[in-house]
Chain A
Amino acid sequence: SAVISQKPSRDICQRGTSLTIQCQVDSQVTMMFWYRQQPGQSLTLIATANQGSEATYESGFVIDKFPISRPNLTFSTLTVSNMSPEDSSIYLCSVARGHPNYGYTFGSGTRLTVV
């Protein structure tokens, strides 16, 4: 299965600023997924990123707030823009493990604190 390198692992940011999170996969994958895990909560899908097309956002998430890039089949970035304390969460990227039923591999996550 794929190995994902996600960075930064954590950051503390000032409100009003932006942070870009990177995910590098060791193999080519069609779709990459970005999740948010708010403190004490489950994972919520932010968007699905396909190479060569705009990301597909879930209800409650918009491109202006969470712009995503997918320049090639092994890399993606998620930017958290104009941050507020409510954006303090763990952000994770994920890819399918190959076969449709084999589950997903997750990056180690980015723990973001907005002050």
Chain B
Amino acid sequence: EVQVLESGGDLVQPGGSLRLSCAASGFTFSSYAMSWVRQAPGKGLEWVSTMSGTGGSTYYADSVKGRFTISRDNSENTLYLQVNSLRAEDTAVYYCAKTQVGKGGLDYWGQGTLVTVSS
């Protein structure tokens, strides 16, 4: 059974940093790209970042480029998102999701971890 579990969300002051983690199981982790998608309170879904299965390619939304860094440890089946220089508008539930085989949609999602940026 595929499982994806995020952690690391917290209340942080503007300008602060966090590292989000996503532990995956039930599939060959290194064979799949993984993504982060966020959802601000009461709002829609926004793609944040994607990393290829090997870790050789990374992609970012313009809204987070230069502030967020995606990484993965395929030996630990874990995806990370380092979030720096946080702003109020980064407040959201951050979901980790597995990409379908090839370059498809997102077929398995975690339950999300809440990041709140406030003084």
Do these two chains really belong together in a complex?
Answer: no
| B interface with A by C-beta (< 8 Å) | none
| A interface with B by C-beta (< 8 Å) | none
